[in-house]
Amino acid sequence: MSITLQQKKTLPSKQNIDAISNWLMIISYPGGKTIKQKAAFPYEDILLNRRSQLDLKKADSSPVVLDLPNQHSSHVAFAFIDATMNSFDLLTLARKMVDAHSATNPKQLGLMVSGFTDADSERIAEALISAALAASAPMPNFKSEKQTPSRLAKLSLFGVRASHGFKQSFAVAEGNALTRSLSILPSNKLTPTEYLKTVKEIARENKWKLEFYDETILKKKKAGAFLAVAQGSPKADAGIVRLRYTPKVAAKGKKVFLVGKGICYDTGGTNLKPANYMYGMHEDMQGSAVALGTLLALSKLNFNRPVECWLALAMNHIGPKAYKPNDVITASDGTTIEIIHTDAEGRMVLSDTLALASKEKPSLILDYATLTGGCMYAIGTSYSGVFTNKKEWHAGLIKAGEDSGERVWPFPLDEDFDEMIKSKIADVKQCSQESGVDHILASRFLQRFVKHDTPWVHMDLSSSHKKGGLAHIPTDTIGFGVRYSINLLLNDYLK
């Protein structure tokens, strides 16, 4: 990103504050502190007075906004918080504080963190930086009226000086911005053909090796589950993208694989979706965009393990060649599948993708998909669901979400759920005609295609889209999963 960060361990002087027109300030909740005490920084008495006028008798996560009585009438969004505020609430507060400056579209933001330990100060500053970067990222817009892009070019941070320079925050922001911008594109702008062109450009820029398994290659690999979905498209441009990142210096350990569902538009196929459920289905490729955004962030961070990214790109079209309920198809591993509902296409393209990827015996597969409405009904749109063949990882997966602010909740994958997808004429049903636990059944279905006891985590992205944004992300399209995955992979959560 082209935004620079300047850090100073000291709190800002009056001259510093007066020189910057827009500020974000987070101050330790003062408890019994009164405004008669000596101020720690200029204008603190004004902030305390405003806070007392609002009768905020305890730490409150709502930002307060005022203009300082200085030459530039510096616009300040500030909050007094307790250091124990959780990551999700902190990021949400940061988004609201940044939004308070959206009308002025500043070139520079002053950030100040006061009254906390060094560790807490870094955590709070990271939230402010992440929110500012997320808000400034350009997103697709096709309005004929000229749009005003974000002018933000500099962040000036006071009260914190981190030796790492918040490099991870910038890398994650870049990966998330890529995820969101791809997901927002309408399906006539992001067909599988155009998606592949974009991925090739990104791969070239980042020196990733790229292979594309087109429909001819997939036929040779007998990937019937993937091809069943692709066969309804008027243009044979579906396929699986395989990207390979190789670090300059690799640590011990096998490759990490990222796998993503990339359905560029989902009509539901022969089982056509109702209009209200079809609107927004251009974002049904967000799982692939999360995998791609995560790979980009890892590359920017010079991640020390090899990573492969597998993107299953296709459209789920209606048409005379589209697959149908009661069809029986054969996946690349020989599994026969009875088709029940053609709107369960995500698990079809992922089944072959997971089977092919796991043949390479990676040490971990993370897969992402906007897979089921069932997960959204079960957990809402503020969390995403996670499923794993390593039950002992549940606590770590939750903790990674709590720490990153992208919250997840694990669901069971017990074997007896398979009773609901038993078929009389094939090895397995694609889904069940019964309702209620489709998110679990879809995951049980996918798990059978993860070979060689490969450790596997599946994320059902129920929080991929939320009106008004989520945590530090200000757009309805969230790009959920990039921040989570980087946190998961860079820290020791999976024990």
* Catalytic sites, residue numbers: 273, 347
For every residue of 388-421, DSSP letters joined together read: ES-GGGHHHHHHHHHHHS--EEE----GGGGGGG
Residue 23 near residue 171, CB atoms below 8 Å: no
Residue 357 vs residues 80, 162, 207, 327: alpha-carbon distances, Å = 49, 39, 21, 25
- At 210, phi and psi to the nearest 5? -125, 135
Residue 224, Ramachandran bin (φ over 0: left; ψ between -120 and 50: alpha; else beta): alpha
Angle subtended at Cα 68 by Cα 66 and Cα 74, rounded to the nearest 5 degrees: 90
Report how far residue 344's alpha carbon sits from residue 270's, in angstroms, rounded to the nearest whole number. 11
Residue 126 near residue 93, CB atoms below 8 Å: no
Which distant-in-sequence residues (6+ apart) come within 8 Å of 237 by Cβ?
191, 192, 193, 196
Which distant-in-sequence residues (6+ apart) come within 8 Å of 47 by Cβ?
25, 27, 64, 66, 76, 78
| Token representation of residue 209 | 């090796």
Report how far residue 241's alpha carbon sits from residue 356's, in angstroms, rounded to the nearest whole number. 12
Report how far residue 206's alpha carbon sits from residue 29's, in angstroms, rounded to the nearest whole number. 44
What sign has the CA pseudo-torsion 120, 125, 131, 133? negative
Give me the helices (H) in 185-273, please: 192-206, 215-220, 224-230
Residue whose pair of structure tokens reads 């889209």 in the numeric block:
465
Give the helix, strand, coil percentages of the chain, each rounded to 5.
35, 20, 45
Report how far residue 202's alpha carbon sits from residue 298's, in angstroms, rounded to the nearest whole number. 14
Tell me the sheet residues that pair with 383.
Answer: none
Tell me the sheet residues that pair with 8.
Answer: 158, 160
Exposed, middle or buried by CB within 10 Å (0-12, 13-18, 19+), for 82? Answer: middle
Q: What's the first-to-final CA gap in the chain, in angstroms?
A: 34
The letter for the amino acid at 407 is R
